[in-house]
Amino acid sequence: MILQVKNLVKQYKHHDGLINALDDISIDVKRGSFVTVTGPSGSGKSTLLLSLFGLIRPTSGTIFFNNRIITGATDLELANIRQEHVGFILQNFALIPYLTTVQNVMIPLALKKVDGDEQLERATEVLKFVGLANRINHLPRELSTGQQQRVAIARALVHNPSVILADEPTGNLDPALSLEILDFLSKINQTKGITVILVTHSPVAAEYGNYKIHLRDGRLAG
Ligand SMILES: Nc1ncnc2c1ncn2[C@@H]1O[C@H](COP(=O)(O)OP(=O)(O)OP(=O)(O)O)[C@@H](O)[C@H]1O
Ligand SMILES: [Mg+2]
């Protein structure tokens, strides 16, 4: 198992009262699997995804990554684990507007203090892989939506993570582009053995999963 989640609970304290966003979630994720997380709006999908590697601190429960307990790790330890092992693809892409394609993709390597020439080389290589070799010096606003999404994917991949976490990565895209991105995630999963955890509203996207998680009111639903 690459990830084991045991009895995960996340409560948000709100002045309107306590919200049980995650209510006793337990899941086992095998290395190399393609996990889809579906469920109605507000069912806890994003909270689950962001809790896995500590971007949100769970209220209780235990998370094992590579058989090591990571709940309880310090912020710095968690940041290091994310930098080393995890790629994030978020819905709004989160590209830095004043950096070019290749500079955006170099960010995870810069954080790891990889040598400058190597950063450029590896970012260029992964941009070739996503079909953007001829757009490396463009700014995000000079790219189409699908191209921006592929930059975000390239950035999530460049440091060779063992897990990719994607929250509605095709939410803003037309059906054809969505399929392109999904096929791409599937290719990464199959050829590189990267574990993918994909949050989605789309039934089509959910079909890509070989482990399908459905949430309702913060609980696993059948
Ligand atoms: N920071 C917060 N403070 C208080 N409540 C929150 C906070 N973040 C999320 N919630 C609540 O927790 C619940 C789960 O939210 P979450 O964002 O995980 O849902 P989701 O399944 O990702 O929904 P969507 O499909 O709309 O993105 C919701 O009821 C939401 O209102
Ligand atoms: Mg969400």
Q: What's 90's domain CATH number? A: 3.40.50.300
Question: Is residue 18 a part of any domain in this protein?
Answer: no
Using the Cα atoms of residue 195, residue 207, residue 63 and residue 44 in order, give the sign of their dihedral. Answer: positive
Q: Judge if the beta carbon of residue 131 lies within 6 A of ligand 1.
A: no
Question: Is residue 68 a part of any domain in this protein?
Answer: no
93 touches 151 (CB < 8 A): yes
Separation CA 179–CA 200 (nearest Å): 13
Q: Judge if the beta carbon of residue 200 lies within 6 A of ligand 1.
A: no
Number of domains into which the chain is organized: 1
28 touches 1 (CB < 8 A): yes
Q: Whose CA is nearest to atom 29 of ligand 1?
A: 42
Using the Cα atoms of residue 127, residue 147, residue 111 and residue 188 in order, give the sign of their dihedral. Answer: negative
Query: Residue 119 belongs to what domain range?
Result: 31-57+74-221
Question: Is residue 21 a part of any domain in this protein?
Answer: no
CA dist list (Å): 137 to 2, 108, 142, 151, 180: 36, 18, 10, 12, 23
Q: Judge if the beta carbon of residue 46 lies within 6 A of ligand 1.
A: yes
DSSP conformational letter for 216: E
Centre of ligand 1 from the C-alpha of residue 40, in Å: 11
Per-residue pLDDT of the chain (222 residues; tens, 9 = 90+): 999 999 999 999 988 899 999 999 999 999 999 999 999 999 999 999 999 999 999 999 999 999 999 999 999 999 999 999 999 998 766 899 999 999 999 999 998 889 999 999 999 999 998 889 999 999 999 999 889 988 999 999 999 999 999 998 887 677 887 888 888 899 989 999 999 999 998 888 899 999 999 999 999 997
